[in-house]
Structure 1
Amino acid sequence: MSHPGMVRMICNPLDLPYRYQEIRPMLSGRTVHREAADPSIVRFRGRFYLFASMSRGFWHSADLVTWDYRPTEKLPPLDYAPDVREVDGALYISASRRDEPCPFFRSVDPLADDFVEVTPGAFPFWDPNLFQDDDGATYLYWGCDNKTPIYGTRIDPRTFAPIGDRVDLIAADTESRGWEQPGDDHVKQPPRTEMEKLIADYVGEGPFIEGAWMTRRGETYYLQYAAPGTEYNTYADGYFTGTGPLGPFTYSPHSPFSAKPGGFITGAGHGSTFQDQYGNWWHAATMRISVNHAFERRIGLFPAGFDDDGVLFCNQNFADYPMQVPDRRFDPWTEVSPAGMLLSYRSAATASSSLDEHGPELAVNENIRDWWVADSTEPGQWLRLDLGNLTTVHAVQVNLADHELAALAPETTDGRDPGHEYRGIYAASYPAELHVETSVDGRSWTTVHDGRGTGRDTPHLFATLDEPRRARYVRVTAGRLPFDGPLAISGLRVFGTGNGRPPADVAPRATRVDGRVARIEWDGVAGAQGYNVRYGLAPEKLYHSWLVYEQTDLDLRALNAGVDYWVAVDSFNENGITPGAPVPVTG
């Protein structure tokens, strides 16, 4: 694999200065952790603007690579799922209020913090999405529930009051759509704690149908939605198509078009689809951690597009590996990802100190939901990897975890308690500053990144090298950390090229168990780190993928009943990927 040189790169989850929030649940302990979810991105006057839940502000970028945070106190900080769209040459922002009217705000220069409330709102809604059609007619879509559908209505673009009747648009159909079934791997587990039992009794067992987003392409309207729930690895986005903004709509069997159930960080639901200045399509979505709290989440960005048949897709193969962001029109399948293979998987890890049950091996197991933690908050704690031999390093990603920060963080005083838990967002920034080095021999070290003393917050630091570098060792040392807490790393991930060859190819055996489930099996091959299972409705439309490590079977429970599927299994290691040939799912 060739090194991408100075091509701009990103790596999911995006390295944003996610804001800290404090949650005091009614029946469990206080937690302090980062959160951002439900990303709404638009390009407005030459810049991209990203609004996300629980952010007390927004991010902006000129190139989708470097994002700057801008706080604001003029927008409601605790209203979930903020939506931003351009209407009549200005940005309009709204968010979610279930039991009272939702206000709309207007801005023509967000960087000047010129947000003005234009209406207190005409009715309550949750997970809104505003859309202005080519003829100037404006529509609102909303809904976040496991009992009621996603709704739509035309609204007056001046008053934002409804024009005409509300229309029922999308409801769950778990009997036909396997991907809407709740649960990790689409398998619902019984409640384990008293809190989970209470939530299950109150909420019920159905999937949450939520997160609408409308995209028009040509004469086709793509109404996108999320299911089955943000706390699952199976959180994904599907879509319906129609000939008008309020339908009638037809379900696309290519759903979900955005899904990332496997790999280092999972989930790719409740997002937004947009174009850059070159005409390339992108999809931003919510990725889950859900350890400190079910709503502990991050933001992912994926190349997207439409094929010749009008099928909406995302390329989410190796979607948490480095990804190129070319400054031109590009092919989303052949020119973007992965821009480097994983060199650090299960490499030998040592540390300055470790807490019990949080050893350094947890930083290299490709699971963002567990982590190494230093057994000290003293400055200079470190984690070191031995990659086993000299390799060619292109980039390093350091993913930090929020480990028991409630014991260290002060209480917020300007939050809100709607009756079941208090929630507040810290106005101040608490930067994570890191020093990253590589070494050939473990004695002499060369700096890759030094954020100490900069005030730059890098909770998912992605440091690319100006030139490829031969190295065997990688070390991360703590500088200033949020709330003076311990260094905690869920993923120290090193990317580049190894010294050998990709593994041999794989021939899968694929059997349809029922309308929504297929059993995929294959024989493991020597030298493989893992396998990327690709599947779809035709050999040339394998638009779905599931990345696994150290396993040779997979139950795909996300299928749509009544349609045929094809599957391929790619083997991979630090030296590259060996594509597998598609085979039909039989039975």
Structure 2
Amino acid sequence: MSSFTCNPLDIAYRFSDMSVGPFWRGVFREAADPSVILYKDRYYLFPSMSGGFWHSDDLATWEFAATPTLPTYDYAPDVREIDGHLVVCASRSVKPCSFFRTTDPLSGQWQEIPGTFAFFDPNLFQDDDGRVYLYWGTSNKKPIQGQELDRTTFERIGQPVPIISGDVRAHGWERPGENHDHRQSNGMGVLMEKIAGTDPYFEGAWMTKYDGVYYLQYAAPGTQLNTYADGYYTAPSPLGPFIYSPQSPFSSKPGGFMTAAGHGSTIQDRHGNWWHMATMRISVQHMFERRIGLFPAGFDADGVLFCNQEFADYPMTVPNGPADPWSLSAKAMLLSDRRPVTVSSADPAHAAELAVNEDARTWWVPADATPGHWISVDIPEGATVSSVQINLADHEIRPPKPKWAETQQTLVWRRRIDMAEPAVEVLLEGSADGVTWEPLYDTRGAKVSRTHLFVELDEPRAYRHIRLTGYAQPYGSKLAVSGLRVFGHGAGAAPAAVTPRARHTSPLNAAVTWNGAPTAPGYNVRYGLAADKLYQSWLLYDRTDLDLSALNADHDYWIAVDSFNENGITRGQPVHLAAA
């Protein structure tokens, strides 16, 4: 039987308590840089700063396993199967990085193989002939490198080979900044530019071999940006020579409720379906405030690597068998977008409508932290509700400050990861009339720590109101709702089709405009290098224009705009945009 999920992944993201001396302190959840594999018929997910890993039977429901014997505070852990062992390594920029292996990850027993050199953002790869390679690098100055390693000792063989340096004059998506324009950056983006400059970062390597071709994937331009994405180079051998793919970025999510889809891993499930798991950003409390997304992926008949990221934070099917990756997304439509909301109270700086504005970086907060505050959203008349996603924000979280000995140095910050999983208690209810309420999901007393709860109803129901009531919140904080997102199907018609107009404003940018459809609150802009390869998309609300800024120079593009509302999606026909 198929499962359903909704990005970001519904797991118990760990709280990090971070500080820089007496000058700054922040407490927020983080998991990023996901490395996932299928090992002995089970999926294992290792993200940064989590104190362990998650494992799953179906890619939709995940269980956590702590790993106190592994280096908790080393960034970007990589997991691969090498000679029948599950092997993990992670980032240390100055000290040699060890490798850890096991044949039973759930036993907690790991063999350490001491490292002989330092690296950051590693990815191991074992080729069909048994030879092992390591790819690594995260820098806005140095290239991503590759090198062969001894398959038993993981010591170096030969010399490192520089592979990916990027080219912001030809690859529009590699340019830093919000919407690929650093002048639009704000908040954490501006802070990162002050620290590291405006040069893009190239990082997060991942190697996939398909049909005899080596696909080396990489992330750019920066994890704190909506434009964080993954591209790729191909080669006939593990260390090259590599050629840039103009189909890059193949994983990109610059619009919608939660943006970004970079620094990821690509795997096949047990049914032969391809998936890409990547980092999504919030980056409000800190640039490393991040989450994890799962996206259908694949290779087309021409060997092009792609992701289906259309409506990528809407409910999605995780099939229990072979499936077309383009059939899995948008299994229900959004019913709550900018709908009327009623709340028990509101902080003037965090109004009620911020819980239904399709932006994970803003949220509603009640006046105080008293248990029992609630928010209710009205659903369009005649609609049926099939699922609800509850997204809670990390608002002014202040647990007791940890002692120095309880923290670790990570980059420039002292950090403590809270492994206790402070409970999140909420009650979700539905009503047909706003008077009589039916419970839909209740976490009171369950010691649940998840803040992106995805609730799939046993069957669609005709509700007019969905209400969320908050009780205990982490560390006694206020309830903070960044997205009370209700999904299902409306009773009306999908909007009319629209036709875009496109013109180049630079070799890497195109101005795309269209006449709006009267009943469409949003549009999905699809684009690619051929009319039948519109593999990239950009989800927009309340707009009829887009500066399409992720183009590769000297290539023709085809662009289509889909209109949508709570009743469905109307596909638009592509128009041709010749190279500038």
Structure 1 runs of 4+ with >3 Å offset: 190-193, 195-202
The answer to whether residue 402 in structure 2 is matched with residue 411 in structure 1 is yes
* Aligned mate of 1:434, from 426, 431, 437: 426
Which of 87, 92, 103 matches 2:87? 92
Deviates more, 1:242-251 or 1:412-421: 412-421
SS at match of 1:500: coil
SS in 2 for 1:81: strand
Task: Write out aligned runs for 1:377-526 (5 A).
Answer: 377-406=369-398, 408-411=399-402, 413-417=405-409, 420-526=412-518
Partners of 1:169 and 1:27 lie apart in 2 by: 41
Letter in structure 2 aligned against 1:372: W
TM-score, scaled to structure 2: 0.97
Alpha-carbon separation, structure 1, partners of 2:190 and 2:13? 30
How much has 1:457 moved relative to structure 2? 2.2
Question: Any conservation in 1 of the 2:261–2:280 contact (CA below 8 Å)?
Answer: yes
How many angstroms apart in 1 are the aligned matches of 2:69 and 2:331? Answer: 40
Contact kept in structure 2, 1:26 and 1:420, CA below 8 Å = no
Q: Is 2:563 the counterpart of 1:568?
A: no
State the one-letter code of the partner of 1:265: M
Counterpart check, 1:295 vs 2:297: no
How much has 1:27 moved relative to structure 2? Answer: 7.8
Trace 1:223-234 onto structure 2 (pairs within 5 A): 223-234=216-227
Q: Are residues 198 and 449 of structure 1, via their aligned partners in 2, closer, same or farther at CA, if it must alter by over 3 Å?
A: closer
Shift of residue 205 of structure 1?
A: 1.9
Change (3 A) 1:185 1:419: closer
Asked whether 1:12 is paired with 2:7, we answer yes
Change (3 A) 1:201 1:467: closer
Q: Report the CA distance shift for 1:486/1:513 in structure 2 as closer, same or farther (over 3 A).
A: same
Residues 305-364 of structure 1: per-residue CA shift (max 9 Å, x gap) = 00000000000000000001110100011x201010000001111111211211111000
How far off its partner does 1:200 sit?
3.7
CA deviations 1:390-435 (Å, max 9, x no partner) are: 41000000000000002x4442542223573211211211121221
CA contact (8 A) 1:32 1:409 kept: no
Cα separation, partners in 2 of 1:463 and 1:418, compared to 1, 3 Å:
closer
| SS at 1:361 equivalent | helix
User: Take 1:130 and 1:208, find their aligned partners in 2: how far apart are those partners?
Assistant: 20
Are positions 1:79 and 2:74 aligned together? yes
Q: AA paired with 2:363?
A: W
SS of residue in 2 equivalent to 1:372: coil
Moved more, 47-56 or 447-456: 447-456
Would you say 1:63 and 2:55 are equivalent positions? Answer: no
- Number of the residue aligned with 1:33: 28
- Aligned partners of 1:536, 1:346: CA distance in 2, in Å? 30
Which letter maps to 1:325? V
Distance across 2 between alignment mates of 1:191 and 1:565: 27
- Note closer, same or farther for the CA distance 1:374–1:95 as it changes in structure 2 (3 Å cut): same
Contact 2:233 2:242 in 1 (8 A): yes
Aligned length in residues: 578
Matched-pair contact (CA < 8 Å) for 2:509–2:549: yes
Within 5 Å, give how 1:175-324 maps onto structure 2. Answer: 175-189=169-183, 200=193, 202-324=195-317
- Residue among 565, 574, 580 paired with 2:572: 580
1-structure distance, mates of 2:522, 2:113: 53
Match of 1:3 in 2: none
Instruction: Determine what percentage of the aligned residue pairs are the same residue.
Output: 55
Aligned to 1:132: 126
Q: State how far apart, in whole Å, the 2-side matches of 1:213 and 1:192 are.
A: 30
> Partner of 1:373: helix, strand, or coil?
coil
CA contact (8 A) 1:453 1:480 kept: no
Contact 2:178/2:184 (8 A) holds in 1: no
CA drift at 1:382: 1.1
Could you tell me which amino acid in structure 2 is paired with residue 435 of structure 1? L
Distance 2:509 2:530 in 1: 17
**Number of the residue aligned with 2:336:** 344
1:510/1:518 contact within 8 Å kept: yes
Per-residue CA deviations over 1:202-248 (Å, capped at 9, x if unaligned) read: 52221000000000012100000000000000000000011111111
Which of 41, 51, 62 in structure 2 is aligned with 1:46? 41
Do the aligned partners of 1:183 and 1:232 also contact (CA within 8 Å) in 2? yes
Matched, 1:173 2:162: no
Q: Distance in 1 between matches of 2:30 and 2:448?
A: 18
Q: Is 2:113 the partner of 1:118?
A: yes
2:65 aligned counterpart, secondary structure: strand
- Alignment check: 8 A CA contact 2:380 2:490 kept: no
**The residue matched to 2:106 in structure 1 has which SS?**
helix
Runs of 5+ consecutive residues of structure 1 not aligned to the other structure: 1-5
Q: CA deviation at 1:198?
A: 7.7
SS of the equivalent of 1:253 reads: coil
Deviation at 1:196, TM superposition (A): 7.8
CA distance in 2, matches of 1:135, 1:58: 29
Structure 2 stretches lacking a partner, 5+ long: none
Distance 1:474 1:215 in 2: 43
Displacement of 1:380: 1.6
Rounded to whole Å, the distance in 2 between the matches of 1:199 and 1:74 is 33
Distance 1:202 1:366, change over 3 A: closer
**Aligned equivalents of 1:555, 1:583: Cα separation in 2:** 16
Whole-Å separation in 2 of the counterparts to 1:567 and 1:513: 15
Q: Distance in 2 between matches of 1:390 and 1:199?
A: 47
